[in-house]
Amino acid sequence: MQDYFEPAPPAPENGGESLTVEQAIANLRGDDLGLRYYAAWWLGRFRIREPAAVEALLAALEDESDRTDDGGYPLRRNAARALGKLGDQRSVPALIWCLESSDYYLREAAAQSLEMLNAAASVPVLMQMLAGGVEAAVLVPGKPHLAQPYNSVIEALGTLHATEAISLIQPFLEHPVKRVQYSAARAMYQLTGQSIYAERLVQALHGDELQLRRSALMDLGAIGYLPAAEAIAETLAENSLKLIALKGILEHQLGSNPTQPPSLSDNAIQVMTVMDSLL
Amino acid sequence: MFSDAIMTKDESIQKLIQAVDEADSADGLLNAVKALAAVRSPAAIPSLIQVLRYNNPGAAVAAVDGLILLGEPAVQAILDQLDSYNYGARAWAVRALAGIGDPRGIDLLISAAETDFALSVRRAAARGLGNLQWVGLSSELVRDDQERTYNTLSKVCQDPEWVVRYAGIVGLQGLGSAVPADRPAWFSQLLAQLQQMAQADAELVVRARAVLATQTLTA
């Protein structure tokens, strides 16, 4: 009964469990590439929001020492992912700069983090990444990925309310890769509020491939589409993932006043009843 | 006539059991387990428990569903066969016992809720502790076991994973609804803990579930 979303255990060979904040920051500034890579992940995982951590991660975004054979930047990728989790707006310009990196996976990490940071300033560069439309959105020869991280770019544009990107995103509903179609449907729902787009994700819950059903679950949770609650409960996937998706839907039903216990609508109670049945 | 009918029924169950034993594909096993579970016969219990040991989540879900439908007669067999279990099977057994709600499963559910490393097992155990069926037991025994259950669920509500705390609240609501009218001393602590979580838990959905539990228990 392996759970899809069990947290990854720390890697003890990298000093995992014994790290302190000071050590992690020191490791990130040190010479050992393994320790630097791990420290970047660790600071994000444990949401270390101290200014010194943010500054060390920003410095790591310009690292030149950690390179893959084909020119990728593993440390920069981890630093970009961590910065998204720390919520510090000072990271935004550096992450926008990463969107233009030669490293696909760094561009992907940066787009996801800019989405998490709600960084409206990134919209123009994200839109440029869709240039050439669906025709340009093909596999890079010899690589397992498309020309751009379209999923992350399109999802970020949806979350950032970039209505000026609607006409760029809409054609991606017909992209040959299903995951890209889902991202487009998700963003189109966020940008237009039209349920026809969310219903495409509900349909996707009936697909044959587990990986795609999981993906649609996460998308429906992210957009908080209430009418999907029953279909989410019934799709063939792990309960852990269904619960995460329903959590997203429930959050959209609850007003978020941090000083008061939430007040419950009938819809919210209904979603909780479904969640209870999946425990 | 009557004995013929029995014989036919036994034979058909034996065939269904054989189909589970001989299944040679994941789909074949799933369908065989579903068919065996559907007859709801106590004769199927050993085979359904056996399926929990296979590394086949689909079939295990069907077997757990079948054991839950059989209910009380399956409990002793599940507990008896537990020690020799691999981890995966133990986790599925927790699910089955949580669904059945027989208080004989209380020790296993308590240890799973407090110490299992998999959050999916902790959350199932917490839900199961709130689902224990106390009716018909001597009130002295019930009083101790309910207090143990409360203490465990109270700890579960401090789990680092939101979904486990959520399940802990569901468990507390179930337990709180089951206690007798002359409420035990810990009942007011239970309500205070729910109110505290409604106010201050880090996750909005956990706070919402605590509100719902409070409303349900004080209605």
pLDDT tens track for B67-77: 999 999 999 99
Nearest to B204 among A238, A239, A262 (CB): A262
CB contact under 8 A, A279 and B166: yes
ipTM for the complex shown: 0.89
- The runs of H, that is alpha helices, within A48-132 are 51-60, 74-86, 92-98, 104-116, 123-128
Instruction: Determine the longest span between alpha carbons in chain B, in angstroms.
Output: 67
The confidence score (pLDDT) of residue A180 equals 97
Q: Average pLDDT in the A3-19 region?
A: 49
Give CA–CA dist B58/B100, Å, rounded: 19
> Residue B211: its chain A contacts at CB < 8 A?
261-264
CB contact under 8 A, B198 and A261: yes
> Residue A1: its chain B contacts at CB < 8 A?
57, 60, 88, 91-92, 118, 120-121
pTM (2 d.p.) = 0.86
> Residue B212: its chain A contacts at CB < 8 A?
264, 269, 272
CB contact under 8 A, A240 and B215: no
The confidence score (pLDDT) of residue A17 equals 55
Binding-site residues on chain A for chain B (CB distance < 8 A): 1, 3, 6, 238-240, 243-244, 247, 250-251, 254, 256, 261-264, 268-269, 272, 275-276, 279
Rounded to the nearest 10 degrees, how much is the dihedral formed by the CA atoms of B35, B37, B42, B46?
A: 90
Tell me how close the Cα of B207 comes to any Cα of chain A, in angstroms. Answer: 6
Handedness of CA A59, A62, A63, A67 (dihedral sign): positive
- The runs of H, that is alpha helices, within chain A are 21-29, 33-45, 51-60, 74-86, 92-98, 104-116, 123-128, 133-136, 150-159, 166-169, 178-192, 195-204, 210-223, 229-234, 239-253, 266-277
Tell me how close the Cα of B202 comes to any Cα of chain A, in angstroms. Answer: 9
Secondary structure in 3-state letters for chain B: CHHHHHHHHHHHHHHHHHHHHHCCCHHHHHHHHHHHHHCCCHHHHHHHHHHCCCCCHHHHHHHHHHHHHHCHHHHHHHHHCCCCCCHHHHHHHHHHHHHHCCHHHHHHHHHHHHHCCCHHHHHHHHHHHHCCCCCCCCHHHHHHHHHHHHHHHHHHCCCCCHHHHHHHHHHHHHHHHHCCCCCCCHHHHHHHHHHHHHHHCCCHHHHHHHHHHHHHHHC
Tell me how close the Cα of A149 comes to any Cα of chain B, in angstroms. Answer: 30
Give CA–CA dist B98/A276, Å, rounded: 13
> Residue B120: its chain A contacts at CB < 8 A?
1, 3, 6, 238-240
- Tell me what the pLDDT averaged over chain A comes to: 92
Residue range B192-215, pLDDT digits in tens: 999 999 999 999 999 999 999 999
Which residue is closest to A244 within chain B, CA to CA? B163
CB contact under 8 A, A264 and B198: no
The confidence score (pLDDT) of residue B7 equals 54
Other C-beta atoms lying within 10 Å of the C-beta of residue A137: 18
Give CA–CA dist A15/A183, Å, rounded: 37
> Residue B199: its chain A contacts at CB < 8 A?
261
CB contact under 8 A, A279 and B170: yes
Which residue is closest to B91 within chain A, CA to CA? A1
In the three-class reduction of DSSP (H, G, I as helix; E, B as strand; rest coil), residue A139 is classed as strand
Give CA–CA dist B201/B185, Å, rounded: 24
Nearest to A261 among B92, B126, B199 (CB): B199
Residue range A251-267, pLDDT digits in tens: 999 976 777 888 999 99
Other C-beta atoms lying within 10 Å of the C-beta of residue A257: 10
Checking if the pLDDT of A2 tops 90, the result is no
Q: Which of A69-73, A117-121, B84-88, B117-121 has the highest mean predicted lDDT (pLDDT)?
A: A117-121
Tell me how close the Cα of B41 comes to any Cα of chain A, in angstroms. Answer: 25
pLDDT band at residue A106 under the 50/70/90 scheme: very high
Which residue is closest to B171 within chain A, CA to CA? A276
The confidence score (pLDDT) of residue B108 equals 93
CB contact under 8 A, B210 and A261: yes
Give CA–CA dist A12/A206, Å, rounded: 40
Q: Average pLDDT in the A154-165 region?
A: 98
Checking if the pLDDT of A10 tops 50, the result is no
Give CA–CA dist A232/A243, Å, rounded: 9
Beta-carbon-side half-sphere exposure of residue B136 (alpha carbons within 13 Å): 4
Q: Is B124 on the interface with A (CB under 8 A)?
A: yes
The confidence score (pLDDT) of residue A261 equals 86
Q: Is B191 on the interface with A (CB under 8 A)?
A: no
Which residue is closest to B89 within chain A, CA to CA? A1
Question: Phi first, then psi: what are they for A43, rounded to 5°?
Answer: -65, -35
Tell me how close the Cα of A141 comes to any Cα of chain B, in angstroms. Answer: 36
- Tell me what the pLDDT averaged over chain B comes to: 91
CB contact under 8 A, B124 and A251: no
Nearest to B211 among A247, A251, A262 (CB): A262
CB contact under 8 A, B212 and A269: yes
Contact of A98 with A113, CB cutoff 8 Å: no
The confidence score (pLDDT) of residue B12 equals 86
CB contact under 8 A, A240 and B120: yes
Residues B45, B50, B53, CA angle at the centre, nearest 5°? 145
Tell me how close the Cα of A102 comes to any Cα of chain B, in angstroms. Answer: 37
> Residue B124: its chain A contacts at CB < 8 A?
279
State the residue for tokens 């994000």: A44
